[in-house]
Protein backbone atom coordinates (compact mmCIF):
# COMPACT_ATOMS: atom_id res chain seq x y z
CA UNK A 1 0.00 0.00 0.00
CA UNK A 2 2.84 2.40 0.88
CA UNK A 3 4.60 1.90 -2.47
CA UNK A 4 1.38 2.49 -4.43
CA UNK A 5 0.58 5.71 -2.58
CA UNK A 6 4.13 6.99 -3.07
CA UNK A 7 3.97 6.11 -6.75
CA UNK A 8 0.77 8.12 -7.19
CA UNK A 9 2.10 11.08 -5.23
CA UNK A 10 5.31 11.24 -7.28
CA UNK A 11 3.29 11.63 -10.47
CA UNK A 12 3.01 15.28 -11.46
CA UNK A 13 -0.45 16.83 -11.78
CA UNK A 14 0.26 17.74 -15.40
CA UNK A 15 1.01 14.10 -16.24
CA UNK A 16 -2.23 12.96 -14.59
CA UNK A 17 -4.20 15.64 -16.43
CA UNK A 18 -2.64 14.68 -19.74
CA UNK A 19 -3.55 11.04 -19.22
CA UNK A 20 -7.18 11.91 -18.45
CA UNK A 21 -7.34 14.17 -21.49
CA UNK A 22 -6.30 11.39 -23.88
CA UNK A 23 -8.31 8.66 -22.18
CA UNK A 24 -11.19 6.97 -23.99
CA UNK A 25 -13.07 4.47 -21.84
CA UNK A 26 -16.41 2.87 -21.12
CA UNK A 27 -17.81 0.91 -18.21
CA UNK A 28 -20.57 -1.63 -18.76
CA UNK A 29 -22.41 -2.53 -15.55
CA UNK A 30 -24.80 -5.40 -14.91
CA UNK A 31 -26.69 -5.87 -11.66
CA UNK A 32 -29.11 -8.61 -10.78
CA UNK A 33 -30.68 -9.40 -7.45
CA UNK A 34 -33.36 -11.77 -6.25
CA UNK A 35 -34.59 -11.53 -2.70
CA UNK A 36 -37.43 -13.26 -0.94
CA UNK A 37 -38.84 -12.55 2.48
CA UNK A 38 -41.32 -14.66 4.37
CA UNK A 39 -43.85 -13.02 6.66
CA UNK A 40 -44.25 -15.50 9.52
CA UNK A 41 -46.72 -13.37 11.50
CA UNK A 42 -49.46 -15.96 11.04
CA UNK A 43 -47.18 -18.68 12.34
CA UNK A 44 -46.20 -16.62 15.38
CA UNK A 45 -49.89 -16.01 16.09
CA UNK A 46 -50.65 -19.72 16.05
CA UNK A 47 -47.61 -20.59 18.16
CA UNK A 48 -48.71 -18.07 20.79
CA UNK A 49 -52.42 -19.03 20.78
CA UNK A 50 -52.25 -22.83 20.90
CA UNK A 51 -51.53 -22.93 24.62
CA UNK A 52 -54.66 -20.86 25.30
CA UNK A 53 -56.73 -23.25 23.18
CA UNK A 54 -55.29 -26.08 25.23
CA UNK A 55 -56.39 -24.31 28.42
CA UNK A 56 -59.95 -24.05 27.06
CA UNK A 57 -60.15 -27.72 26.11
CA UNK A 58 -58.75 -28.83 29.48
CA UNK A 59 -61.46 -26.84 31.27
CA UNK A 60 -64.35 -26.87 28.82
CA UNK A 61 -67.67 -25.13 29.08
CA UNK A 62 -70.44 -27.67 29.84
CA UNK A 63 -74.20 -27.60 29.43
CA UNK A 64 -76.90 -29.74 31.07
CA UNK A 65 -79.47 -31.02 28.57
CA UNK A 66 -82.90 -32.32 29.67
CA UNK A 67 -84.20 -34.97 27.29
CA UNK A 68 -87.98 -35.37 27.68
CA UNK A 69 -89.65 -38.55 26.51
CA UNK A 70 -93.10 -40.06 27.13
CA UNK A 71 -92.63 -43.75 27.87
CA UNK A 72 -94.65 -46.61 29.25
CA UNK A 73 -94.82 -46.54 33.01
CA UNK A 74 -92.78 -49.73 33.33
CA UNK A 75 -89.95 -48.17 31.28
CA UNK A 76 -89.73 -44.99 33.30
CA UNK A 77 -86.38 -44.70 35.05
CA UNK A 78 -87.08 -41.72 37.21
CA UNK A 79 -90.28 -40.00 38.29
CA UNK A 80 -89.82 -36.32 39.00
CA UNK A 81 -92.03 -33.40 39.97
CA UNK A 82 -92.10 -32.40 36.31
CA UNK A 83 -93.42 -35.88 35.46
CA UNK A 84 -96.33 -35.45 37.89
CA UNK A 85 -97.11 -31.96 36.59
CA UNK A 86 -97.14 -33.30 33.04
CA UNK A 87 -99.48 -36.14 34.01
CA UNK A 88 -101.91 -33.71 35.69
CA UNK A 89 -102.10 -31.74 32.48
CA UNK A 90 -102.48 -34.84 30.31
CA UNK A 91 -105.16 -36.97 32.02
CA UNK A 92 -105.53 -39.10 28.92
CA UNK A 93 -102.32 -40.83 30.07
CA UNK A 94 -104.10 -42.06 33.24
CA UNK A 95 -105.09 -45.69 32.89
CA UNK A 96 -106.91 -46.19 36.22
CA UNK A 97 -107.98 -44.15 39.23
CA UNK A 98 -109.09 -45.56 42.61
CA UNK A 99 -111.47 -43.13 44.25
CA UNK A 100 -111.27 -44.81 47.66
CA UNK A 101 -107.51 -44.83 47.93
CA UNK A 102 -106.80 -41.93 45.53
CA UNK A 103 -104.30 -44.11 43.74
CA UNK A 104 -103.52 -43.10 40.17
CA UNK A 105 -102.19 -45.65 37.70
CA UNK A 106 -100.87 -44.04 34.49
CA UNK A 107 -100.32 -45.96 31.31
CA UNK A 108 -97.55 -43.63 30.21
CA UNK A 109 -95.55 -40.90 31.89
CA UNK A 110 -93.01 -38.19 31.07
CA UNK A 111 -89.44 -39.37 31.55
CA UNK A 112 -86.73 -36.73 31.86
CA UNK A 113 -83.06 -37.63 31.28
CA UNK A 114 -80.46 -35.05 32.30
CA UNK A 115 -77.26 -35.28 30.28
CA UNK A 116 -74.07 -33.18 30.37
CA UNK A 117 -72.92 -32.04 26.94
CA UNK A 118 -70.06 -30.05 25.41
CA UNK A 119 -72.30 -28.79 22.64
CA UNK A 120 -72.14 -25.11 23.58
CA UNK A 121 -71.59 -22.13 21.32
CA UNK A 122 -68.20 -21.41 22.86
CA UNK A 123 -66.98 -24.97 22.34
CA UNK A 124 -68.30 -25.04 18.78
CA UNK A 125 -66.36 -21.80 18.20
CA UNK A 126 -63.11 -23.43 19.37
CA UNK A 127 -63.87 -26.56 17.34
CA UNK A 128 -64.39 -24.47 14.19
CA UNK A 129 -61.28 -22.39 14.92
CA UNK A 130 -59.10 -25.51 15.13
CA UNK A 131 -60.47 -26.79 11.82
CA UNK A 132 -59.85 -23.38 10.23
CA UNK A 133 -56.26 -23.46 11.51
CA UNK A 134 -55.70 -26.79 9.78
CA UNK A 135 -57.08 -25.44 6.49
CA UNK A 136 -55.05 -22.23 6.84
CA UNK A 137 -51.84 -24.21 7.33
CA UNK A 138 -52.54 -26.42 4.33
CA UNK A 139 -52.94 -23.34 2.13
CA UNK A 140 -49.70 -21.85 3.47
CA UNK A 141 -47.82 -25.10 2.79
CA UNK A 142 -48.74 -24.81 -0.90
CA UNK A 143 -46.75 -21.59 -1.10
CA UNK A 144 -43.06 -21.64 -1.96
CA UNK A 145 -42.00 -21.66 1.68
CA UNK A 146 -38.43 -20.53 2.24
CA UNK A 147 -36.55 -18.55 4.81
CA UNK A 148 -35.32 -15.09 3.92
CA UNK A 149 -32.92 -15.31 0.97
CA UNK A 150 -30.81 -12.92 -1.03
CA UNK A 151 -28.96 -13.59 -4.29
CA UNK A 152 -26.90 -10.83 -5.88
CA UNK A 153 -24.83 -10.74 -9.05
CA UNK A 154 -22.65 -7.82 -10.21
CA UNK A 155 -20.50 -7.53 -13.31
CA UNK A 156 -18.16 -4.70 -14.37
CA UNK A 157 -16.68 -4.72 -17.86
CA UNK A 158 -14.18 -1.89 -18.36
CA UNK A 159 -12.48 -0.96 -21.62
CA UNK A 160 -9.95 1.87 -21.67
CA UNK A 161 -7.38 3.29 -24.10
CA UNK A 162 -5.02 6.18 -23.43
CA UNK A 163 -1.45 7.50 -23.56
CA UNK A 164 1.28 7.53 -20.94
CA UNK A 165 4.58 9.18 -21.87
CA UNK A 166 3.86 8.85 -25.61
CA UNK A 167 3.08 5.19 -25.09
CA UNK A 168 -0.36 3.88 -26.06
CA UNK A 169 -1.87 1.79 -23.27
CA UNK A 170 -5.01 -0.30 -23.18
CA UNK A 171 -6.87 -1.98 -20.34
CA UNK A 172 -9.60 -4.61 -20.46
CA UNK A 173 -11.00 -5.60 -17.09
CA UNK A 174 -13.94 -7.70 -16.00
CA UNK A 175 -15.05 -8.02 -12.39
CA UNK A 176 -17.77 -10.38 -11.21
CA UNK A 177 -19.26 -10.50 -7.73
CA UNK A 178 -21.80 -12.95 -6.32
CA UNK A 179 -23.57 -13.11 -2.99
CA UNK A 180 -25.85 -15.81 -1.68
CA UNK A 181 -27.49 -15.47 1.68
CA UNK A 182 -30.05 -17.73 3.28
CA UNK A 183 -30.75 -20.11 6.13
CA UNK A 184 -30.12 -23.81 5.95
CA UNK A 185 -33.34 -25.73 5.41
CA UNK A 186 -32.54 -28.22 8.17
CA UNK A 187 -32.21 -25.60 10.87
CA UNK A 188 -34.37 -26.11 13.95
CA UNK A 189 -36.02 -22.68 13.61
CA UNK A 190 -36.74 -22.93 9.89
CA UNK A 191 -40.27 -22.20 8.68
CA UNK A 192 -41.12 -25.82 7.64
CA UNK A 193 -39.95 -27.18 10.99
CA UNK A 194 -41.98 -24.60 12.90
CA UNK A 195 -45.07 -25.46 10.84
CA UNK A 196 -44.56 -29.14 11.60
CA UNK A 197 -44.43 -28.39 15.34
CA UNK A 198 -47.66 -26.38 15.16
CA UNK A 199 -49.38 -29.21 13.27
CA UNK A 200 -48.27 -31.66 15.94
CA UNK A 201 -49.75 -29.50 18.70
CA UNK A 202 -53.00 -29.13 16.74
CA UNK A 203 -53.24 -32.92 16.54
CA UNK A 204 -52.97 -32.98 20.34
CA UNK A 205 -55.90 -30.56 20.54
CA UNK A 206 -57.94 -32.76 18.21
CA UNK A 207 -57.41 -35.74 20.52
CA UNK A 208 -59.19 -34.00 23.42
CA UNK A 209 -62.58 -35.24 24.63
CA UNK A 210 -64.26 -31.94 23.83
CA UNK A 211 -63.12 -31.90 20.20
CA UNK A 212 -64.01 -35.55 19.60
CA UNK A 213 -67.40 -35.13 21.29
CA UNK A 214 -68.37 -32.19 19.09
CA UNK A 215 -66.99 -33.90 15.99
CA UNK A 216 -69.35 -36.86 16.59
CA UNK A 217 -72.35 -34.52 16.69
CA UNK A 218 -71.56 -33.21 13.21
CA UNK A 219 -72.54 -29.72 14.27
CA UNK A 220 -72.57 -26.86 11.80
CA UNK A 221 -69.39 -24.75 11.93
CA UNK A 222 -69.53 -21.34 13.54
CA UNK A 223 -69.32 -18.40 11.13
CA UNK A 224 -68.47 -14.73 11.45
CA UNK A 225 -69.38 -12.53 13.14
CA UNK A 226 -68.63 -14.31 16.39
CA UNK A 227 -71.22 -13.81 19.11
CA UNK A 228 -69.82 -11.76 21.97
CA UNK A 229 -70.93 -13.97 24.83
CA UNK A 230 -69.78 -13.18 28.36
CA UNK A 231 -67.32 -16.07 28.30
CA UNK A 232 -65.76 -15.00 24.99
CA UNK A 233 -65.51 -11.36 26.08
CA UNK A 234 -64.18 -11.86 29.60
CA UNK A 235 -62.09 -15.03 29.50
CA UNK A 236 -58.45 -14.35 28.49
CA UNK A 237 -58.14 -17.72 26.75
CA UNK A 238 -61.10 -16.97 24.50
CA UNK A 239 -59.76 -13.47 23.84
CA UNK A 240 -56.61 -14.97 22.30
CA UNK A 241 -58.74 -17.41 20.32
CA UNK A 242 -60.91 -14.59 18.97
CA UNK A 243 -57.82 -12.57 18.03
CA UNK A 244 -56.46 -15.51 16.00
CA UNK A 245 -59.87 -16.00 14.34
CA UNK A 246 -60.00 -12.36 13.23
CA UNK A 247 -56.40 -12.46 12.04
CA UNK A 248 -56.98 -15.46 9.77
CA UNK A 249 -60.15 -13.88 8.41
CA UNK A 250 -58.32 -10.67 7.45
CA UNK A 251 -54.96 -12.07 6.26
CA UNK A 252 -55.45 -14.35 3.30
CA UNK A 253 -52.70 -13.02 1.02
CA UNK A 254 -49.49 -15.03 0.38
CA UNK A 255 -46.75 -14.72 2.96
CA UNK A 256 -43.87 -14.87 0.47
CA UNK A 257 -42.73 -11.51 -0.87
CA UNK A 258 -40.24 -11.50 -3.77
CA UNK A 259 -38.21 -8.62 -5.18
CA UNK A 260 -36.28 -8.78 -8.44
CA UNK A 261 -33.94 -6.19 -9.97
CA UNK A 262 -32.17 -6.35 -13.32
CA UNK A 263 -29.97 -3.44 -14.47
CA UNK A 264 -27.82 -3.27 -17.57
CA UNK A 265 -26.28 0.12 -18.42
CA UNK A 266 -23.22 2.14 -19.45
CA UNK A 267 -22.03 4.04 -16.39
CA UNK A 268 -20.99 7.66 -16.79
CA UNK A 269 -20.78 8.64 -13.14
CA UNK A 270 -18.67 7.97 -10.09
CA UNK A 271 -18.02 4.32 -10.89
CA UNK A 272 -16.47 5.15 -14.25
CA UNK A 273 -14.42 7.96 -12.70
CA UNK A 274 -12.94 5.58 -10.14
CA UNK A 275 -12.20 2.95 -12.79
CA UNK A 276 -10.39 5.62 -14.86
CA UNK A 277 -8.28 6.46 -11.82
CA UNK A 278 -7.55 2.77 -11.38
CA UNK A 279 -6.44 2.62 -15.04
CA UNK A 280 -4.01 5.48 -14.42
CA UNK A 281 -2.59 3.76 -11.37
CA UNK A 282 -2.08 0.54 -13.32
CA UNK A 283 -0.22 2.47 -16.02
CA UNK A 284 2.03 4.04 -13.40
CA UNK A 285 2.77 0.61 -11.97
CA UNK A 286 3.66 -0.70 -15.42
CA UNK A 287 6.03 2.23 -16.01
CA UNK A 288 8.02 1.38 -12.90
CA UNK A 289 9.50 -1.53 -14.88
CA UNK A 290 11.82 0.90 -16.67
CA UNK A 291 12.34 3.48 -13.91
CA UNK A 292 15.15 3.49 -11.32
CA UNK A 293 14.16 3.47 -7.68
CA UNK A 294 13.63 6.92 -6.19
CA UNK A 295 16.42 7.89 -3.79
CA UNK A 296 15.83 9.30 -0.35
CA UNK A 297 17.16 12.69 -1.42
CA UNK A 298 14.76 12.78 -4.37
CA UNK A 299 11.85 11.86 -2.12
CA UNK A 300 12.69 14.59 0.39
CA UNK A 301 13.02 17.10 -2.43
CA UNK A 302 9.59 16.16 -3.71
CA UNK A 303 8.09 16.54 -0.24
CA UNK A 304 9.57 20.03 0.08
CA UNK A 305 8.18 20.95 -3.32
CA UNK A 306 4.69 19.84 -2.27
CA UNK A 307 4.86 21.97 0.88
CA UNK A 308 6.23 24.98 -1.03
CA UNK A 309 3.42 24.74 -3.56
CA UNK A 310 0.87 24.63 -0.75
CA UNK A 311 2.35 27.75 0.89
CA UNK A 312 2.50 29.61 -2.45
CA UNK A 313 -1.16 28.80 -3.10
CA UNK A 314 -2.11 30.16 0.33
CA UNK A 315 -0.12 33.38 -0.25
CA UNK A 316 -1.70 33.82 -3.69
CA UNK A 317 -5.15 33.66 -2.13
CA UNK A 318 -4.26 36.26 0.48
CA UNK A 319 -0.84 37.93 0.53
CA UNK A 320 -1.82 39.74 3.74
CA UNK A 321 -1.45 36.61 5.84
CA UNK A 322 0.84 37.15 8.81
CA UNK A 323 3.27 34.53 10.02
CA UNK A 324 1.01 33.72 12.98
CA UNK A 325 -2.08 33.33 10.75
CA UNK A 326 -0.16 31.09 8.36
CA UNK A 327 1.07 28.95 11.24
CA UNK A 328 -2.49 28.71 12.59
CA UNK A 329 -3.87 27.56 9.21
CA UNK A 330 -1.20 24.93 8.84
CA UNK A 331 -1.57 23.90 12.49
CA UNK A 332 -5.35 23.46 12.17
CA UNK A 333 -4.98 21.27 9.11
CA UNK A 334 -2.26 19.32 10.86
CA UNK A 335 -4.61 18.52 13.75
CA UNK A 336 -7.33 17.37 11.33
CA UNK A 337 -4.93 15.11 9.46
CA UNK A 338 -3.38 13.76 12.63
CA UNK A 339 -6.66 12.46 13.97
CA UNK A 340 -8.25 11.35 10.72
CA UNK A 341 -8.95 7.61 10.95
CA UNK A 342 -9.29 6.67 7.30
CA UNK A 343 -7.15 3.63 6.55
CA UNK A 344 -6.42 4.25 2.89
CA UNK A 345 -5.07 7.79 3.60
CA UNK A 346 -2.75 6.85 6.45
CA UNK A 347 0.38 6.97 4.27
CA UNK A 348 -0.59 10.34 2.80
CA UNK A 349 -1.00 11.64 6.34
CA UNK A 350 2.52 10.51 7.22
CA UNK A 351 3.98 12.34 4.22
CA UNK A 352 2.18 15.56 4.98
CA UNK A 353 3.11 15.43 8.65
CA UNK A 354 6.75 15.18 7.74
CA UNK A 355 6.42 18.06 5.27
CA UNK A 356 4.68 20.18 7.90
CA UNK A 357 7.42 19.49 10.44
CA UNK A 358 10.06 20.60 7.97
CA UNK A 359 8.02 23.66 7.12
CA UNK A 360 7.64 24.54 10.81
CA UNK A 361 11.42 24.26 11.23
CA UNK A 362 11.88 26.73 8.39
CA UNK A 363 9.34 29.10 9.92
CA UNK A 364 11.16 28.93 13.24
CA UNK A 365 14.42 29.69 11.47
CA UNK A 366 12.85 32.74 9.81
CA UNK A 367 11.59 33.97 13.19
CA UNK A 368 15.08 33.69 14.69
CA UNK A 369 16.59 35.63 11.81
CA UNK A 370 13.87 38.25 12.09
CA UNK A 371 14.57 38.71 15.84
CA UNK A 372 18.31 39.04 15.18
CA UNK A 373 17.65 41.65 12.52
CA UNK A 374 15.42 43.63 14.91
CA UNK A 375 18.13 43.62 17.58
CA UNK A 376 20.73 44.86 15.11
CA UNK A 377 18.44 47.79 14.18
CA UNK A 378 18.13 48.69 17.85
State pLDDT tens for residues 127-172: 999 999 999 999 999 887 765 667 888 998 999 998 887 788 898 9
Interhelix angle 346-377/323-338, nearest 10 degrees? 160
Model-wide pTM > 0.85: no
What integer pLDDT is reported at residue 157 of this predicted model? 93
What integer pLDDT is reported at residue 257 of this predicted model? 81
Instruction: Inform me whether the pLDDT recorded for 342 exceeds 60.
Output: no
Instruction: Inform me whether the pLDDT recorded for 345 exceeds 60.
Output: no
**Biggest alpha carbon–alpha carbon distance for the chain:** 163
**Which residue in 74, 10, 87 sits closest to 295, CA to CA?**
10
Q: Which of 143-147, 252-256, 337-341 has the highest mean pLDDT?
A: 252-256
What integer pLDDT is reported at residue 63 of this predicted model? 57
Query: Residue 269 in 3-state DSSP?
Result: coil
Q: How far apart are CA 279 and CA 288, in angstroms?
A: 15
- Estimate to the nearest angstrom the gap between the alpha carbon of 2 and the chain centroid: 40
pLDDT band, very low/low/confident/very high, at 117 (cuts 50, 70, 90) = confident
Do β-strands 167-182 and 149-164 pair in parallel, antiparallel, or remain unpaired? antiparallel
Q: Could you tell me where the beta strands, DSSP code E, fall in the chain?
A: 24-38, 63-72, 94-97, 104-106, 108-117, 149-164, 167-182, 256-267
User: Other CB atoms closer than 10 Å to residue 355's CB: what's the count?
Assistant: 20
Instruction: Inform me whether the pLDDT recorded for 374 exceeds 70.
Output: no
What integer pLDDT is reported at residue 25 of this predicted model? 92
- What integer is the mean pLDDT of 29-33? 90
What integer pLDDT is reported at residue 202 of this predicted model? 97
Half-sphere exposure of 360 (CA within 13 A, CB side): 12
What integer pLDDT is reported at residue 343 of this predicted model? 45
- Estimate to the nearest angstrom the gap between the alpha carbon of 100 and the chain centroid: 93
Amino acid sequence: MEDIVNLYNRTSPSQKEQFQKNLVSNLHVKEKSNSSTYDDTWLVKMEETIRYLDNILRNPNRFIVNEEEIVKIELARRITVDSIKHLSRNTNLIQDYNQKTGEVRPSKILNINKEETFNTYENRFIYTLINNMKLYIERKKKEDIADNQLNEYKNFTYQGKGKMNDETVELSLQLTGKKEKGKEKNQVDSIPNRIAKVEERIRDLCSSDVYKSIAKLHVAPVTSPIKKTNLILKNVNFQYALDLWNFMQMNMEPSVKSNHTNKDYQDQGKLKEMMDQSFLLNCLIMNTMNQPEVTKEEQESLQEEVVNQSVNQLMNISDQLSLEELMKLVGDQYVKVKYKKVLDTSEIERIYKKAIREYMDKIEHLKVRKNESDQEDI
